[in-house]
Amino acid sequence: MLDTRPLLLDTDFPALRRGELGTLQVNLGYLCNQTCTHCHVNAGPKRTELMDRITIDLVLEVLKERSITLLDLTGGAPEMNPDFRYLVAGARAQGVEVMDRCNLTILMEPGYLELHEFLAEHQVRIIASLPCYGPENVAEQRGKGVFEASIAALRKLNKAGYGYDPELTLNLVYNPNGAFLPPAQHTLEAEYKARLNDDFGVVFDNLFTLANMPVSRFGGMLLATNQYQAYMKLLKDNFTAANLHSVMCRTLVSVDWQGYLYDCDFNQMLDMPLRACPDDERSLIARENPRPHLRSLLEDFQIVGQAIAIGEHCYGCTAGQGSSCGGSLSD
Ligand code: SF4
Ligand code: SF4
């Protein structure tokens, strides 16, 4: 696969600094039951990288020590980590909100057929990818049969109360099926709600629109089809400075399956680690451990006000209406 990383490191993107830390986004591993074309983590059924129990216990400790209010679980398919339920139950017992980035089809796989009941019982917020309300685009981007399985999974979630009960949030995610920016989030959400309800009797709370990032599998596709320069120009031409205030790295830290820290999931995929406090020469951790780890967050590691590692891909977060884990930044 062609790699955009060398093209992204030198950038004129404006400097960013972190504010208060509210979210720990944890990648539980790259194992997934799907192999989507836009996947920025190259996940798939043959990946073996999975967070182990020792690291998961560190996650629980960090949530407590740093008074973090939201645990955002991602992968791969995070549910395929054997300790998924252990982590969710542990975090909920501490009063932490838990968000599961669910690909929906996992809920229809053997071994996971009752998982929706566990998620509802623990009031886990679901954020699920569904790049279209019709089958063709979904099949092209996520694979044959994925749309039908996704609708069946959404019906199961609805039956468990998701989309109806205010305590059981079900949000969907749209990303473009190509090198273009997402349409206006509120307009597309209205369309999704009407079509999914009319055609399939499915309800959900909110639709989040995300821009595709020029990294990993999508970045490789851009290079292979000579669309990289045009896509970067599109992102830069649509740069919106107001979005700089709310990009997700300002309040979030991303953790990889081995427990190392990054400013966001995209930096994680580009192997651009979180800086070891370059502004604080007195930091013991900065001298001894240039690659910050979850363990650093149990010590005196200064995360607030820290400079964020940026690259050309950051223009994907600020283009047009903006893009983050929670969808558009300007809606
Ligand atoms: S995009 Fe999500 S569902 Fe698709 S391969 Fe990647 S991790 Fe799996
Ligand atoms: S890609 Fe987005 S979230 Fe990540 S560091 Fe850049 S601006 Fe922040």
Interatomic CA distance for residues 178 and 141, integer angstroms = 9
User: Can you give the pLDDT at residue 314?
Assistant: 95
Q: What is the pLDDT of residue 313?
A: 95
pTM: 0.92
- The answer to whether 30 and 77 are in contact (CB under 8 A) is no
- pLDDT digit string (tens) for the chain, length 331 residues: 789 999 999 999 999 999 999 999 999 999 999 987 767 778 899 999 999 999 999 999 999 999 999 999 999 999 999 999 999 999 999 999 999 999 999 999 999 999 999 999 999 999 998 888 878 777 777 778 889 999 999 999 999 999 999 999 999 999 888 899 999 999 999 999 999 999 999 999 999 999 999 998 889 999 999 999 999 999 999 999 999 999 999 999 999 999 999 999 999 989 898 876 544 433 333 444 568 999 999 998 888 998 999 999 999 999 988 766 666 766 5
The topology (CATH level 3) of 20-318 is TIM Barrel (3.20.20)
Q: What is the pLDDT of residue 278?
A: 46
Best substitution site from 27, 30, 32, 102 to test ligand 1's pocket, by max atoms within 8 Å of Cβ? Answer: 32
Residue closest by Cα to atom 3 of ligand 2: 249
Whether 292 contacts 301, CB under 8 Å: yes
Single-letter code of the amino acid located at 44:
G
Rounded CA-CA distance 267/83 in Å is: 25
Q: How far is CA 191 from the centre of its chain?
A: 23
Atom of ligand 1 nearest to the CA of 41: 6
Per-residue confidence (pLDDT) for residue 122, from 0 to 100: 98
Closest protein CA for atom 6 of ligand 1: 39
The binding-site residues of ligand 1, defined as CB within 6 angstroms of any ligand atom, are: 32, 34-36, 39, 41, 43, 75-77, 103
Can you tell me which atom of ligand 2 is nearest the CA of 313?
1
- How confident is the model at residue 41, as a pLDDT? 78
Distances, alpha carbon 55 to alpha carbons 22, 95, 289, 302, in Å: 20, 20, 17, 21
Ligand 2 pocket mutation, candidates 245, 266, 325, criterion most atoms within 8 A of CB: 266
Q: What is the DSSP letter of 292?
A: -
What integer pLDDT is reported at residue 320 of this predicted model? 83
**pLDDT value at position 329?**
65
Q: Which residue pairs from 63-67 have beta carbons closer than 8 angstroms and sit at least 24 positions apart in sequence? A: 63/24, 63/91, 63/94, 63/96, 64/94, 65/297, 65/298, 66/21, 66/24, 66/297
